[in-house]
């Protein structure tokens, strides 16, 4: 039912300067793959067939990553490097296509999502994934679990996760109640102070929306940070429609928009990598902090 996902990638990634001066932050690697590739793989696993990048003129490396590189392929073929060829063969999963729309001005996440409006059909529900957030699950990806749940009830959904008091002001925060069909969202606030926050449940970068969200975004005024906030349009949606909170259980999220979160992702994904894990674990065990 959900075939399209919007990936907002127009942000300039100033938190990671100087690394992101000429490289999109979505192209930063976790072990051996850029962040955006993990996101596209999670989307494909959820049955998504159309990736809509909302992008910026400085971010063409992302589109190039999902395009063919014939020169590289011919070179690897000629050198008999079939193993390396296999690594770039399936970067864009079969049956999935990527299209781009531009966000001409950095007016906020809500505005970025609205830029993709013309690519959606009028009555089409859609997903949004924030490429800063990696979600690891040994069995079933976060978006796949959300899509399965959406096909049962047909209401908008947002992935939620508990954060410490000190981190509440970095995220969208949800008020919830236990409904008959699960966790119902009753209000959403973007980056509140701890005193204003209705809970410790933060929005973690995976969403499914009914079409109504797009029309609400058209009327959403600048909010926190002077930006048009997706969270504000979602809060408005709650006045007319239900929205479910999705708790990502037995998995792990990584906020790679934050340096510490990004480092944790690299360490933990390396520890899960069959080829690296043994040596890397041994190295960590031997690591002598007193010499650093
Ligand atoms: C965005 C959203 C916020 C959400 C966060 C998740 O904020 O606006 O609601 O909790 O992503 O990472 P940003 O990180 O772009 O400031």
CA of 276 to the centre of ligand 1 (A): 32
Q: How far is Cα 268 from Cα 16, in angstroms, rounded to an integer?
A: 20
If DSSP codes are grouped into helix, strand and coil, which group holds residue 170?
Answer: helix
Q: How far is Cα 44 from Cα 257, in angstroms, rounded to an integer?
A: 22
Confidence grade of residue 289 (pLDDT, cut at 50, 70, 90) = confident
Instruction: Determine the pLDDT at residue 13.
Output: 83
H-helix or E-strand spanning residue 237: helix 230-237
Confidence grade of residue 1 (pLDDT, cut at 50, 70, 90) = confident
Confidence grade of residue 127 (pLDDT, cut at 50, 70, 90) = very high
CA of 133 to the centre of ligand 1 (A): 9
Q: Is the pLDDT of residue 250 over 90?
A: no
Q: Report the pLDDT averaged over residues 180-200.
A: 95
Q: How far is Cα 218 from Cα 225, in angstroms, rounded to an integer?
A: 18
Nearest CA to ligand 1 atom 8: 172
As given in the structure block, the two tokens for residue 28 are: 């930063």
Condensed to tens digits (0 to 9), the pLDDT of residues 10-60 reads 998 889 999 999 999 999 999 999 999 999 999 999 999 999 999 999 999
Q: Which atom of ligand 1 approaches the CA of 170 most closely?
A: 16
Does the predicted TM-score (pTM) go above 0.85?
A: yes
Nearest CA to ligand 1 atom 9: 172
Max distance between CA atoms of the chain, in angstroms, equals 63
Condensed to tens digits (0 to 9), the pLDDT of residues 129-166 reads 999 999 999 899 999 999 999 999 999 999 999 999 99
Domains and CATH numbers, the chain: 4-291 (3.90.550.10)
């Amino acid at each position: 039912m959900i075939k399209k996902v919007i990936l907002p990638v127009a942000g300039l990634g100033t938190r990671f300067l100087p690394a992101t001066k000429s490289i999109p932050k979505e192209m930063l690697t976790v072990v051996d793959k850029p962040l955006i590739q993990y996101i596209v793989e999670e989307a494909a696993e959820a049955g998504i067939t159309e990736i809509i990048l909302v992008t910026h003129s400085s971010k063409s490396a992302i589109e190039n990553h999902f395009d063919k590189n014939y020169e590289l392929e011919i070179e690897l073929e000629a050198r008999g490097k079939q193993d390396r060829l296999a690594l770039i063969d399936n970067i864009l999963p079969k049956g999935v296509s990527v299209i781009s729309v531009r966000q001409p001005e950095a007016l906020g996440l809500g505005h970025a999502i609205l830029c993709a409006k013309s690519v959606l059909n009028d009555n089409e529900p859609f997903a949004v994934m924030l490429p800063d957030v990696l979600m690891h699950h040994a069995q079933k990806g976060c978006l796949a679990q959300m899509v399965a749940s959406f096909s049962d009830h047909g209401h908008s959904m947002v992935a939620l996760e508990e954060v410490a008091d000190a981190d509440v002001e970095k995220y969208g925060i949800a008020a919830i109640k236990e409904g008959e069909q699960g966790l119902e969202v009753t209000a959403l606030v973007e980056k509140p102070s701890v005193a204003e926050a209705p809970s410790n449940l933060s929005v973690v970068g995976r969403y499914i929306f009914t079409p109504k969200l797009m029309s609400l975004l058209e009327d959403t005024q600048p909010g926190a940070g002077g930006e048009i906030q997706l969270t504000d349009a979602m809060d408005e949606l709650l006045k007319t429609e239900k929205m479910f909170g999705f708790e990502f259980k037995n998995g792990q999220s990584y906020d790679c928009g934050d340096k510490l979160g990004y480092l944790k992702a690299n360490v933990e994904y390396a520890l899960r990598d069959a080829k690296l894990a043994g040596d890397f674990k041994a190295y960590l065990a031997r690591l002598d902090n007193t010499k650093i």
